């Protein structure tokens, strides 16, 4: 299991692995939005929580089809399925690797982008907390979508269509946490719901994704 995690991280950071792609996209979104809506600080502060969360979600989406597609193409997925590693563990490890490569860097740079979008000072801590809590759900839900579409030629668009609706609850509660935090209101309820979504997806979706992969490998 550790060797699979090590391999996936290694593959992501080596040439052509796509590391930093999501991060660069996130950065671009945060830079482009002020250009589009104008530089009024009040407007930017108002939309900052939503834009930051939508940006994080889209950059996550960008790298989803790599989770299983590359392994499917070169035959590794067949060999992994016949190896002693349970498919559920393979899915969980690959989701973790995706989060470490995509989600964690997003969490780390989000305060800087908050600055670009004039996020209220009280909101920073909740931006970090909500992204740290919510992005694992994005990765594992995405892995489920990738498992459903593995083996489809150019399944990337279908994957986005499948996964985006599943991302809605995470987006709504994640952005709500930041919005309330920035206004100095209590964030307990959306934070608890966000945590519940993450915990639920982490617990259930690796099994669903493993089942989907087994069907797709037939």
Site map 155..184 versus another protein, x via CB under 8 A: ------------------------------
Out of 38, 84, 121, 165, which residue is the one contacting another protein (CB under 8 A)? 84
Is residue 40 packed enough to be buried (19+ CB in 10 Å), middle (13-18) or exposed (0-12)? exposed
Handedness of CA 161, 162, 165, 169 (dihedral sign): negative
DSSP state of 40: -
**Closest distance of CB 151 from another protein, Å:** 12
Site map 32..71 versus another protein, x via CB under 8 A: ---------------------------------------x
Contact 186, 203 (CB under 8 A): no
Does residue 82 bind another protein (CB under 8 A)? Answer: yes
**Closest distance of CB 152 from another protein, Å:** 16
Does residue 3 bind another protein (CB under 8 A)? Answer: yes
Distance CA 123, CA 178 (A): 6
Does residue 96 bind another protein (CB under 8 A)? Answer: no
Does residue 85 bind another protein (CB under 8 A)? Answer: yes
Beta carbon nearer to another protein, 15 or 35: 15
Contact 172, 194 (CB under 8 A): no
Beta carbon nearer to another protein, 30 or 147: 147
Does residue 21 bind another protein (CB under 8 A)? Answer: no
Beta carbon nearer to another protein, 14 or 38: 14
Task: Give, in order, the Cα–Cα distances in Å from 13 to each of 2, 20, 21, 66, 70.
Answer: 17, 8, 11, 13, 15
Out of 7, 125, 157, 200, which residue is the one contacting another protein (CB under 8 A)? 7
Does residue 83 bind another protein (CB under 8 A)? Answer: yes
Closest CA relative to residue 148, chosen from 78, 65, 204, 86: 65
Does residue 153 bind another protein (CB under 8 A)? Answer: no
Closest CA relative to residue 60, chosen from 203, 149, 154, 167: 167
């Amino acid at each position: 299991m550790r060797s699979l995690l090590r391999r996936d991280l290694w593959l992501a950071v080596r040439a052509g692995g796509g590391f930093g792609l999501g991060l660069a996209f996130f950065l671009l979104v945060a830079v482009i939005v002020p250009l589009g809506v104008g530089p009024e600080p009040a407007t930017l502060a108002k939309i900052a929580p939503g834009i930051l969360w939508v940006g994080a979600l889209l950059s996550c989406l960008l790298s989803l089809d790599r989770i299983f597609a590359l392994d499917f193409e070169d035959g590794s997925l067949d060999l992994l399925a016949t190896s002693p590693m349970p498919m559920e563990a393979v899915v969980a490890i690959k989701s973790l690797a995706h989060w470490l490569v995509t989600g964690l860097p997003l969490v780390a740079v989000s305060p800087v982008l908050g600055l670009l979008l004039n996020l209220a000072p009280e909101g920073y801590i909740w931006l970090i907390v909500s992204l740290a809590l919510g992005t694992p759900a994005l990765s594992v839900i995405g892995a489920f979508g990738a498992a459903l579409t593995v083996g489809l030629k150019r399944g990337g668009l279908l994957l986005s269509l499948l996964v985006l609706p599943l991302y809605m609850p995470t987006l709504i509660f994640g952005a709500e946490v930041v919005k309330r935090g920035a206004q100095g209101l209590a964030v307990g309820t959306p934070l608890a719901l966000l945590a519940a979504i993450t915990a639920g997806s982490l617990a259930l979706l690796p099994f669903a994704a493993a089942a989907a992969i087994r069907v797709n490998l037939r």
